[in-house]
Structure 1
């Protein structure tokens, strides 16, 4: 409760008590001192109770404000961490994308490559690739990894419907579809 509202309620209580006392004074010459003392005690008790309630409310508001500030700080920190992770993943994706060599432009290899021992001793920063296997590794496309998603998408289902059916976030579904489009454009 607002402090001024408490004072108004208290003033109203005093006026009501005073109204009851005034007519009796006219009819009765004097009130017994004991009833006046009881009334004063009751009003003092009422005021003390109002002050305690007011203090409790103020403390509750302070606690709520502190909790909301702490919660906002935690959320801001979490957002900053997620943004940083997103930037790292974006950088990694760009590095992976820039390191890809198109199929028709494979790097030329020297006719007589130096032995592995000589390369590693002369240039330790060079990491030797693993020897190529006889069979080409199976390339998994995004569409093959998310068959259910693309079946629903090809049926004309909305992103929201797909996300609900597959238990995924809408942003995740949009990202997968976008990446598949980019992958299709890169292979075309």
Structure 2
């Protein structure tokens, strides 16, 4: 009978070990549930933090867009104001140039109109027509209009001295001399 008894004792021991093992499995099963809940809570908090951060980023982006838009509008307004000022200054410059040109023209000695005399056929043969033709072009040339200027220039006087003596601007004297040179070159 002893073998039966051994079997029974062994069977009892297995049941006792199994009983100890079973409650441990239940305890292990409850621990993962708590850790899962902790993990879910942590994930929820993380998601809430991420949503807050995203909302802050979106608000910052909106604010930056609004600032950029207002800044570009201010710059466009400033550009349009500067363009208007530039146009006004251009108009004022043109007006001042036209005023200075008209005053320069008024200050210039006017060429004398050649006096034509009534001629008879006898006087035409006596006086050649060529001197009359030479007289008219000479008065119409730039050198004919400014004889004092070209007299001083031919004497070797400086442009500054000529401008002081004749009461003209240096730029005006230079321009007249250059135009006379161009006129001579064109007729040559």
Please give the TM-score of this superposition, normalised by the length of structure 1: 0.42
Question: Which structure has the highest helix share of the two?
Answer: 2
Q: Determine which structure has more spread, i.e. the larger CA radius of gyration.
A: 2
